[in-house]
Amino acid sequence: MMRSREGVPSQRRGPDKSDYVKELVEYIALSLVDDPSSVLVTQQRSGSRIRLDLHVAKEDMGRIIGKGGRVANAIRVLLRVTSARDGRQVILDVVEPES
């Protein structure tokens, strides 16, 4: 976090502030799965809401969701915390593979 001259934390700068949540989900997913080539995160924006869809291989669904959904919920908590400072709401959906 960068600090301004007054010692108050400044907002994240760059062309698009919402891209860092997508990058965060990609980083976490790539760290958990056995098949990193199948990881895909898509993003849709609507005002202050961001919806992220996480696609992984069928064999890696258990690693992403976790026992009782604990891993997926932990990722959602991280997203909620990181996006709250920008006044945004982030929704994460883990998409089940077709085949």
Domain boundaries, the chain: 19-95
Q: Cα separation of 70 and 26, whole Å? A: 18
Contact in structure between 39 and 26 (CB atoms under 8 Å): yes
Fold classification of 19-95 (topology level):
GMP Synthetase; Chain A, domain 3 (3.30.300)
Q: What mean pLDDT do residues 8-14 have? A: 48
| pLDDT tens, position by position, 27-62 | 999 999 999 999 999 999 998 899 999 999 999 999
